[in-house]
């Protein structure tokens, strides 16, 4: 590599790492609640009863006429959408075109029109209550999803162009998840932020990062989203997964189980989320010979694929990034609430925390160096230092536990090769860069 190219790559790495650092700080100010408004009434509709045109036109009208009445999270507070997006010329065109781009994108998957539309517009019966909603309610949520994603991008980078270009596949998942899990958007925002971070790192292989890559299921011929991102190194691709959990221990602590049918084939994997997902991903891509499509590969419709042109070997390690800032927000909110509720200048971590037993124990573990008493005059930055120190030490323990499950003889035999995970926190951009260099993803 020439000095000029090395210098340019170094500058791009510095820019991407600076973004990761800035996101780590901004996430501390991020409030995790979602929209709070009355459901829009009307006859309930299946997604198949709503056309693409109705969705796009509805988003256009909502953005054109209702921005002052919609609230979105930006820079840690709820803002009117028109103020959060101030300066964006003709936002109705931008977001309607963006929704159209998502609908066009999913039509390339070879699915029936209604099945493709559900990948953007959400499930017929929504995740939380398993009930249908009106067409107007669904379209309103689709519109609000675009506004929430835009506010996130403007807060983190000030740029909206990537939403419907490099992040188009991530936006498909963001919109669907927003509709399905209305009011719980922190995980979606974290995936969006880190998909953007990964896209900005200069690829040593020259191949662009791919997000929400579709792969085989454990059985059958259907495809579904697999890794949040695929990062292409010079020798192999690395899968990336981004997790925003209020109790990160639940990602790894516990036993993974392989549920088999009468013929012995694994039909389902249960257990802690990270370990379960790592096993499932490995078993899914085992069906393609541990090969994954590159950014320029033709869509595949058969399993195993018949044309591997543009495909790459899948590395044995999966990168997991845990949103430690989200956890920290919840810890600090719980502690400050205890000060407000008790009216005292000191709180007892054994008796004064109004939260679940699991979170109370986590808070006691994080602040173990202070004994059982916290002072009101403890600066918030002091709390953050304790939180980051705790997870810098804790995440490698969770990683080791997860990898011990992945190395179990029955699990390893089912996968057919070594598989492991590498777990870091969102407060550790240096470790992220070191991992990407080690696997020759970046210079």
Q: What is the per-residue pLDDT for 345?
A: 86
SS3 assignment, position 406: helix
CA distance 112 to 131: 22
- Write out pLDDT tens, residues 5-24: 344 445 545 555 565 555 55
Please, are residues 432 and 20 in contact by the beta-carbon 8 Å criterion?
yes
CA distance 23 to 191: 12
Tokens of 121: 């517009």
Strand 420-425 relative to strand 311-322: parallel, antiparallel, unpaired?
Answer: parallel
* Residues of the chain with confidence (pLDDT) below 70: 1-36, 75-76, 127-128, 376
Q: What is the per-residue pLDDT for 2?
A: 46
DSSP β-bridge partners for residue 45: 133
Whole-model pTM: value is: 0.90
CA angle 325, 159, 293 (to 5 degrees): 80
User: Which candidate, 158, 167, 155, places its Cα nearest to that of 191?
Assistant: 167
Q: What is the CA radius of gyration of the chain?
A: 22
Please, are residues 412 and 406 in contact by the beta-carbon 8 Å criterion?
yes
DSSP code of residue 71:
E
Q: What is the per-residue pLDDT for 11?
A: 52
- In this structure, is the dihedral angle defined by the CA atoms of residues 179, 295, 155 and 332, taken in order, positive or negative? positive
DSSP β-bridge partners for residue 320: 241, 423
Length reported for the chain? 443
Q: What is the per-residue pLDDT for 177?
A: 94
DSSP β-bridge partners for residue 375: 346
Please, are residues 22 and 323 in contact by the beta-carbon 8 Å criterion?
no
CA distance 390 to 62: 45
User: Which candidate, 189, 172, 44, 54, places its Cα nearest to that of 119?
Assistant: 172
């Amino acid at each position: 590599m020439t000095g000029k190219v090395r210098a340019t790559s170094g500058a791009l790495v510095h820019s991407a790492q600076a973004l990761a650092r800035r996101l780590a700080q901004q996430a501390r100010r991020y409030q995790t609640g979602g929209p709070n408004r009355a459901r829009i009434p009307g006859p309930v509709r299946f997604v198949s009863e709503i056309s693409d045109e109705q969705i796009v036109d509805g988003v256009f009208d909502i953005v054109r006429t209702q921005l002052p009445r919609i609230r979105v999270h930006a820079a840690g507070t709820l803002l009117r959408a028109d103020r959060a997006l101030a300066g964006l010329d003709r936002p109705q065109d931008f977001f309607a075109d963006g929704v159209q781009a998502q609908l066009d994108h999913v039509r390339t998957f070879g699915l029936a029109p209604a099945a493709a539309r559900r990948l953007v517009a959400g499930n017929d019966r929504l995740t939380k209550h398993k009930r249908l909603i009106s067409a107007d309610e669904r379209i309103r949520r689709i519109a609000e999803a675009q506004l929430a994603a835009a506010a996130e991008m403007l807060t983190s980078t000030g740029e909206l162009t990537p939403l419907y270009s490099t992040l188009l596949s991530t936006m498909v998942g963001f919109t669907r998840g927003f509709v399905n899990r209305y009011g719980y958007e922190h995980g979606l925002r974290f995936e969006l932020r880190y998909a953007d971070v990964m896209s900005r790192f200069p690829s040593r292989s020259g191949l662009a990062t791919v997000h929400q890559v579709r792969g085989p299921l454990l059985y059958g011929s259907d495809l579904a989203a697999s890794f949040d991102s695929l990062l292409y190194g010079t020798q192999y691709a690395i899968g990336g997964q981004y997790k925003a959990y209020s109790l990160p221990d639940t990602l790894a602590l516990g036993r993974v189980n392989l549920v088999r049918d009468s013929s012995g084939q694994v039909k389902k994997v249960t257990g802690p989320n990270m370990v379960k997902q790592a096993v499932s991903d490995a078993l899914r891509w085992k069906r393609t010979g541990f090969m994954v499509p590159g950014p320029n590969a033709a869509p595949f419709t058969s399993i195993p694929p018949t044309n591997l042109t543009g495909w790459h070997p899948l590395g044995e390690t999966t990168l997991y990034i845990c949103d430690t800032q989200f956890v920290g927000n919840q810890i600090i909110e719980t502690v400050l609430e205890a000060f407000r509720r008790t009216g005292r200048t000191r709180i007892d971590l054994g008796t004064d925390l109004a939260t679940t037993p699991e979170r109370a124990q986590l808070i006691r573990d994080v602040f173990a160096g202070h004994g059982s008493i916290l002072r009101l005059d403890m600066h918030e930055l002091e709390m953050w230092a304790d939180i980051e120190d705790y997870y810098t030490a804790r995440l490698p323990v969770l990683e080791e536990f997860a990898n011990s499950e992945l190395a179990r003889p029955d699990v390893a035999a089912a996968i057919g090769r070594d598989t492991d995970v590498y777990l870091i926190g969102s407060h550790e951009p240096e470790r992220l860069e070191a991992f990407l260099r080690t696997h020759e993803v970046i210079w």
